[in-house]
Structure 1
């Protein structure tokens, strides 16, 4: 019998954002950009630290603590040990969700008549 554990669904919806932050690890302090954010974690592009390390995310004069869950060369995913429920980063998340809810999807117009099958090849 294998000890397989199916992945669990995320409990929070990720929201696309573009938030410039500073990430403080044990030995380094680097700039990065949060590309998606939820109450439970974030993906940070431009910064990378070892998986399972702890870090601080500095934004708007406030600090949010995080644990690196995965890491690649130029980005990483972090989990917040305490869910976001207030503060500057949470306000940025709420604003991004409000903006996403009010945006209208882009309309793509074509000046060409629709072509089906081989009729449009001649």
Structure 2
């Protein structure tokens, strides 16, 4: 019996984000952008390191350790050996999820003036 995880079997919900980070590998220091984040891992665009290599993600004055799971020419997917439960990246994830929960109609009503047209004029 083969034990593998399919994309639908992920344990964490992925959230679209745009977070500029620095990725530190064994022999390289590369700027990248996290475009997809969860408590268990991230997709980093603009940075690429060999699969199965270990790296550090620097953001907000903090370091998050990661293992490269897949890699292409200009992006890679990393897994966090320790789930994100606190720190700068976790706060950014929570903020992105909170922002995604606001429906466009709520944004419109929140930014709309209290009065409309001539009705507010006396």
Q: What interval of TM-score do these two structures reach, taking the shorter chain for normalisation?
A: 0.7 to 0.9
Report what 1:43 is aligned to.
43
Superposed CA deviations along residues 8-63 of structure 1, whole A, max 9, x for unmatched, are 40000000000000000000000000000000000000000000000000001000
In the alignment, the residues of structure 2 paired with residue 103 and residue 53 of structure 1 have an alpha-carbon distance, to the nearest angstrom, of 40
TM-score (norm 1): 0.81
In the alignment, the residues of structure 1 paired with residue 4 and residue 60 of structure 2 have an alpha-carbon distance, to the nearest angstrom, of 38
TM-score (norm 2): 0.81
- Corresponding residue pairs, total: 103
Superposed CA deviations along residues 41-100 of structure 1, whole A, max 9, x for unmatched, are 000000000000000000010000000000000000000000000000000000000000
Report what 1:14 is aligned to.
14
Report what 2:102 is aligned to.
102
What is the SS of the residue equivalent to 2:104?
coil
In the alignment, the residues of structure 2 paired with residue 103 and residue 48 of structure 1 have an alpha-carbon distance, to the nearest angstrom, of 35
Return the structure number with greater helix share. 2
Between stretches 95-104 and 16-25, larger displacement belongs to 95-104
What is the SS of the residue equivalent to 1:90?
helix
In the alignment, the residues of structure 2 paired with residue 91 and residue 58 of structure 1 have an alpha-carbon distance, to the nearest angstrom, of 14
In the alignment, the residues of structure 1 paired with residue 87 and residue 2 of structure 2 have an alpha-carbon distance, to the nearest angstrom, of 38
In the alignment, the residues of structure 1 paired with residue 83 and residue 47 of structure 2 have an alpha-carbon distance, to the nearest angstrom, of 21
Residue 104 of structure 1: how far off its partner (Å): 1.9
Q: Structure 2 regions of 5+ residues with no counterpart? A: 106-122
Give the superposed CA RMSD.
1.3
